[in-house]
Chain A
Amino acid sequence: MPNAEKTHVLAELVGPYEFWTFETGADYGLPPQHLNAGNSIAAVAELPQGADPRSGDYVGDLAGSDNAGEIHVPTVWEPVFQRKENAFWPLVVHVKAAEKSGATSPLTRLGHAMKPLASGIAGHRKKAKTEADTLGFRLNSVMPGETVNSGFSVDAIAKAYAKSPKSAVKPAAIVAVIDDGLPFAHRDFRGADGGTRVEFCWLQSAMTPKGQTPTVLYGREYLKGEIDGLIHTYGHDEDQLYRAAGAGDQGPLRGATIRHLGSHGSNVMDLAGGSRIAGALDPVALIGVQLPAPTTLDTAGFGKESYVLAAMHYIFERADRLAEKYLGKGHALPLIVNFSYGFTGGPHNGQDRLERAMRALIRAREAAGAPTHLVIPSGNSFAGALGGEISEGLIKKRGGAAGTFDIPWRVQPTDRTPNYLEIWLPDGAAPQGVSLALQAPSGKSISLAVATSGNQNTPFSMPGLAEKRAIGQFSIEHYRFENSKGRWRFVIVLAPTDPENSTLAAAEAGLWQLKLSGLGPVLKHGPITCRIQRDNDPFGYYRGARQSYFDDRHDQAYGPDGKLSATENPDDAFVRRFDGLNGLATHDAVVVVGGYVASSAAPAAYSSAGPLTAKPGAPGTVRLAAPSDDSPALGGIRAAGTRSGITFRLNGTSAAAPQVTRALALAYAAKPVAAVKPPTPESVATLLAPRLVATGGPKDPGAAINPATRKARLGEWLLTEA
């Protein structure tokens, strides 16, 4: 198989999602992810401490090479690279001469373009004493070329920011929001002096106009001065304001939810830092980062890493500039980053690459003496049947043959996006010896062969058809953790059941069954965790994603009262409701927020939870909860739409998290700056104490609702009205 050769060449660069996106399923992408000359691709590199992709080891090699590619580094926050561990770098790779060397396969072409970096990594391996095989490189998505700024220099910001006017009130805390459709000129973000509190806003897929010195590597940055100018000129006509700002006209592929009445980001940013009463939030400065629309679109999370990591670096870097401008050199301000995003896959032990990268940033800033919080929603998949667990006990209870289990995977018709199933083996277990066969709804069986060793990405087609086009992909990957440990996973990808391009092969819709056998040795190490990736249209987008799920006949999805179940399934069920936390929220440097119904204090039916058995406050659990619905009749929380004056209700834990962000910012703003200390695990509770009610305690109005699972759903506290 030619794939074996490809994967060998690019073993460092390509995981299951990358291989599907750029190779097997490239045609299914929106837009199709073809790697051609002139393309720029967002990427993340994991490099040993001291290795700098901007320095000779990497970039220097370009001069001597055949000039096939270029590597660019966006705005980064330097202190994180001083940590004694591998560093994660957000990068942009520019493919310059893709056709050279007769490379026809997209990935081979990319491999060619990547040669400088690959040799840089190899060179470093020889020098570095760190574990060589923990280095890596992951591709994200192809970027719209016109959004990459060729004239970018990291120094440009200093001059531009010096010209940006100061707010009348000195900031005492910074709220940063990473989201979609940010209404940066909204009146709720203006201070009592009429100027905006948004000091910096980066739209990652907007275009910097010709003639303007770019202050970001890609997209467009707006400083307070420019936003104030836009408000001055176009405050009367916010439609024209965002159009004039280049924030609205981006074409259907990049999307422009700022043109809708409401966007996810308008609601979230308002809850996190919007003031409907003038003056109330004046000491809270704001930083916004709007992710590119395809990133928001792809709810599976693939393609996000590089953009999110770049957003975090940008926020940290700009937060330092902001503090210096208002308080002087050497001063820092408390920073609360709200990231109301999530996906369902990942290892769920804090070792997802993006989790590790974000954690390193938080810890490095804390170490520098600056209070820093990352606030993330727990997720909305509690009732989604997206998680399952295979254990020896389950197989026994079901009466199946030892070491065998059939995973029931129901895939929706008219699904325009691929479906991903991740099967995580327990620590210490190896995939060899496991047999897998995938049975299509029509009954046809596809055998998935496990190679004798190493990672593999194997496309498969429907048996019995003359046409051998791939309708899916079977991957095995040793997902690396820090310190060269890792965990094996199988990833099954199915093509859309209704591809955008109808000449492409479609996967059958219906009940697919993944028939596993030979699991005995694996299960000796512990249970196997199965996770279906999130696959639905995010707020304001209409791509046609339809969520697949585990159609387990033992799943008791509804309780005796007819409502969606709020408890764990009995032992004979494969579907697990607990341990289904947002895959980006399982490390120890994050404040995880669940959602509850304000009128009853019951957990919101969708609010995801960590493991039922975990100790409250441990990594991978919900830390606290905030309202995400006002009542069963009034779903969601009312906050701003995209224009000053529009409000609408947004539900989901996305709406709960920013209320905690806001409460933290106000708590810091109420303290003298000198008294502010870096947070400890307890400091969130201490800061918010006047507004917290202990879950299950005497003041908790919902203490009697499923008391055994309450802490796992809602964490240790409920955030209540001030």
Chain B
Amino acid sequence: MSQLGGIGGIGGIGGIGGIGGIGGIGGIGGIGGIGGIGGINFTGLGGFIGGGGADGLTTSGLMIAAQSIIHTAEQDTSPLATAHALPMSSTSNLDGWDSWVRASLYLSDFLKDLKWKVDKQARSVTLSLAGKAFYSVQRPDIDLFVSQLAKLRDYQDQRADRSAEILSQMGFPIDYFASILGLNAARNRFTFELILITQVIASHVAMVVKHHLACRRPDRLGATVMPMIPTPGHATFPSAHATEAFAVATLLEGLLGTDVAAKHYRSVIRLKKLVFKQAERIAVNRTVAGMHYPIDTWAGAALGEAVGQIILAKCVKGSATLPRHYDATDVDFSVSNFKWMLWQDKAPAGAAANVCGLARGDKTIPVAASDLFGWLWKKSQGEFSLG
């Protein structure tokens, strides 16, 4: 009956059921409209639930085998070596952790310093890091959203043109950036991990702002919007797709700015521009689809830029971010106005704060470097050489 007892051991799988609790993180992924763990696997981070072999047959087999061979070790009297403990709180252990564990650590590391202040009177949300405000945004008047519906109607005619992009960008559209930089999921697994965690963090931060500002989606304010994909169950402003895409673009701009990148790419300046133009296209695709107003993209792009800068600063010691404030005006989004400094020395008229609504401050906000992010940054730097 020992075999049956062994099967009783399957009860141990209940412990694995505990990992099901981590499945909750998948649920958080779901907030981003990302489609949970499945999407993250697809994008290259690897399984959040580590280790195979948790099926009943293998577990049963392992226990039978253990019982059958255990006597060989139990009866051995050969000398034993001293036990060595792992170093405590060390990035040298990170290689050994499952990728989902690292993801959980990066996320916690970022969020631990993040605070937000909601001012209902001023209708604003301000995000701060270690007490320093880096992003503040006004809730636009509902009439401003209504007036932006005309721009949505203009974009609506492009649904046929862009449907392939829209459908394949419903999750984290990592391929659209990888294709520009020639990244490969096997060769550049840590670069993918860095991009992915940037998207996950951007998504979480965007949800905080969305929740507090609680702005209605286009399909609730306009009868002719009729989105071509289901509208996610969260507020419209700011756009999380824009936040994620511009956070990634900012991160990649940083990666491309390194000496290592300069050795392995002959066109970093062009690539930076392409990455930002792609971020714009990803964000605008959501307007074409009927999910977002152009001002959602402005708010999201500004937030994404901040998140990207903070992540870069966590990666590299001595870096900082800048504060920004967004108070929406009824204009279309344009990367040439948002990120004009990539192309021009002088800001174009469309980038003026009183025109586009975005004002960037110049007083730097220091960001403490993080061992975790520093480790990941180093890892991804090491991957360029194969590129």
Contacts and interface: CB of A to CB of B under 8 A. Distances in A.
Interface residues of B, number: 21
Contact of B153 (A234, A236, A252): A252
B123 to A, nearest CB: 28
Given A240-B335, A249-B332, A256 B343 contact: no
Interface string A195-232: 00000000000000000000000000000000000000
Contact of B158 (A233, A234, A240, A260): A260
Given A251-B150, A259-B158, A261-B161, 17 more contacts: A233-B344, A234-B336, A236-B273, A236-B336, A237-B335, A237-B336, A240-B334, A240-B335, A240-B350, A243-B332, A243-B334, A249-B332, A250-B154, A252-B154, A252-B156, A259-B157, A260-B158
Contacts of B379: none
Interface string B46-87: 000000000000000000000000000000000000000000
B313 to A, nearest CB: 28
Interface string B133-167: 00000000000000000110111111001000000
B227 to A, nearest CB: 17
Interface of B: 150-151, 153-158, 161, 273, 277, 280, 332, 334-337, 343-344, 348, 350
Contact of B157 (A233, A237, A240, A260): A260
A255 B156 CA distance: 11
Contacts of A234: 336
B343 A237 contact: yes
Contacts of A239: 280, 334
A244 interface: yes
A234 B273 CA distance: 13
B157 A542 contact: yes
Contact of B348 (A233, A249, A256): A233
Contacts of B273: 236
A249 B350 CA distance: 15
B343 A236 contact: yes
Nearest to A260: B161
A249 B154 contact: yes
Interface in A106-151: none
B276 to A, nearest CB: 10
A252 B157 contact: yes
Closest 10 pairs between A and B when the two form their complex, measured CB to CB: A240-B336, A237-B336, A240-B334, A261-B161, A236-B343, A252-B153, A260-B161, A260-B158, A234-B336, A259-B158
Contacts of B280: 239
Contact of B350 (A244, A250, A251, A260): A244
B154 A251 contact: yes
Central interface residue in B150, B154, B280, B337, by most chain A CB within 10 Å: B154
Nearest to A237: B336
Contacts of A233: 344, 348
Interface string A241-253: 0011000011110
B337 A259 contact: no
A641 to B, nearest CB: 10
24 contacts: A233-B344, A233-B348, A234-B336, A236-B273, A236-B336, A237-B334, A237-B343, A239-B334, A240-B334, A240-B335, A243-B332, A244-B350, A249-B151, A249-B154, A249-B332, A250-B154, A251-B150, A251-B153, A251-B154, A252-B154, A252-B156, A252-B157, A260-B158, A261-B161
Contacts of B348: 233
Nearest to A239: B334
Contacts of B336: 234, 236-237, 240
B224 to A, nearest CB: 9
Contacts of A256: 154
Interface of A: 233-234, 236-237, 239-240, 243-244, 249-252, 255-256, 259-261, 542
B337 A240 contact: yes
A262 to B, nearest CB: 8
Nearest to B270: A236
A239 B153 CA distance: 17
Nearest to B277: A237
A333 B158 CA distance: 40
Contacts of A252: 153-154, 156-157
Contacts of A243: 332, 334
A602 to B, nearest CB: 30
Contacts of B335: 237, 240
Contacts of B157: 252, 255, 259-260, 542
A236 B334 CA distance: 12
A477 B373 CA distance: 81
A529 to B, nearest CB: 37
A183 to B, nearest CB: 15
B295 to A, nearest CB: 15
A178 B332 CA distance: 29
Nearest to B337: A240
A251 B277 CA distance: 24
Central interface residue in A234, A239, A259, by most chain B CB within 10 Å: A239
A382 to B, nearest CB: 27
Nearest to B342: A236
A592 to B, nearest CB: 32
Nearest to B350: A244
B331 to A, nearest CB: 10
A560 to B, nearest CB: 37
Nearest to A236: B343
Contacts of B344: 233
Contacts of A259: 154-155, 157-158
Nearest to B280: A239
A265 to B, nearest CB: 16
A256 B153 CA distance: 11
A239 B151 CA distance: 14
Contacts of B334: 237, 239-240, 243
Nearest to B343: A236
B294 to A, nearest CB: 11
Contacts of B154: 249-252, 256, 259
B301 to A, nearest CB: 14
Nearest to B335: A237
